[in-house]
Amino acid sequence: MAVDTKNGSKTSHKNVQVVDHPVVQHLLTRIRDYQTPAADFRRYSLSLSQYLVYEASRLIEYRDVKVETPVAEADGIALKDYVILAPVLRAGLILAEAAQKILPAARIYHVGLKRDEKTLEAISYYAKLPESLPPDSRVIVLDPMLATGGSAVAAIDLFHKLGLKTIQLVSFVAAPEGIKRVHDAFADVHITVGSVDKCLNEHGYIVPGLGDAGDRIFGT
Ligand code: PRP
Ligand code: URA
């Protein structure tokens, strides 16, 4: 897929969906702005989350069903039963809040990961998964920022180790470095993003990005 955004370089990424809808790009612009107050940041992030998850959920399989309307029989579909939402704490909670509205039957497994500020490697502090999950489950990992990719790879790995192979990732903003790291480890993971930005800075922050997503969402 050809990716060409104002904030990023033109690159070619397979398995990356950039949602270029003007409403999505408007919301992303609002949350990029450092002057956006915390309350507005949260409100815009929640709306953005809804649109990104909606787009990502196109990939969910479905089966044909028939229903009786008050007038006649109609053809319809039913979404696949077993969808797992995996928000990466803390910032992924905002995506989970939106995703739960769109996919109310989905199971939610929280994944606690924190980047070490020096090494930038993800440190796991919470993961409570069952010993097994239905092997045909679809997992949607939710994390607004895909920077070095360490957190996303660690989260995906938890489900991969349980034998789950259909895994997606939804992020507001990704760095090319993070996309590469995810796809080097798990080539089949489909990534839905609002933007592929330019690069990472020396502190592992996405440039231009939006700063620290967790801090801005929670006002810390
Ligand atoms: C942020 C963000 C991602 C991670 C991305 O979380 O929400 O989880 O960094 O960086 P990576 O791709 O380099 O791993 P952080 O570790 O700051 O925790 P927080 O959400 O609790 O603030
Ligand atoms: N985590 C964030 O919250 N922002 C970044 O730019 C990188 C990692």
Q: Which atom of ligand 2 is nearest to the CA of 210?
A: 6
Tokens matching residue 160 = 């991969």
Please state the pTM of the whole predicted model. 0.94
How far out from the chain centre does Cα 148 lie? 15
- At 108, list the tokens: 């939610």
Phi, psi of 49 (to 5 degrees): -60, -40
Give the integer Cα–Cα distance in Å for 189 and 179.
10
The pLDDT value recorded for residue 14 is 83
pLDDT at 7 over 70: no
Amino acid 80: pLDDT: 81
Nearest atom within ligand 2 for CA of residue 204: 7
What structural domains and CATH numbers belong to the chain? 2-64+74-218 (3.40.50.2020)
pLDDT digits (tens, 9 = 90+) for 114-134: 999 899 999 999 998 999 999
Provide mean pLDDT across the span 22-51.
97
**Nearest ligand by distance to the CA of 120:** 1
Residue 9 has pLDDT above 70, yes or no: no
Q: Residue 73: pLDDT above 90?
A: yes
Of all ligands present, the nearest one to the C-alpha of 116 is: 1
pLDDT tops 70 at residue 6: no
Ligand 2 atom nearest residue 206's Cα: 6
Residues in contact with ligand 2 by the CB-under-6-Å rule are 145, 147, 204-206, 209, 212-214
The pLDDT value recorded for residue 187 is: 97
Is there an atom of ligand 1 within 6 Å of 107 CB? no
Mean of the per-residue pLDDT values for the chain?
93
Identify the pLDDT of residue 1: 40
Distance from C-alpha of 185 to C-alpha of 157, rounded to nearest angstrom = 9
CB atoms within 10 A of CB 73: 9
Tell me: the pLDDT tens digits for 49-59?
999 999 999 99
Q: Is 215 a catalytic residue?
A: yes
119, 136, 184, 188: which one is catalytic? Answer: 119
Tell me: the pLDDT tens digits for 130-175?
Answer: 999 999 999 999 999 999 999 999 999 999 999 999 999 999 999 9
Query: DSSP labels for 132-186?
Result: ---TT-EEEEE-SEESSSHHHHHHHHHHHTTT--EEEEEEEEE-HHHHHHHHHH-
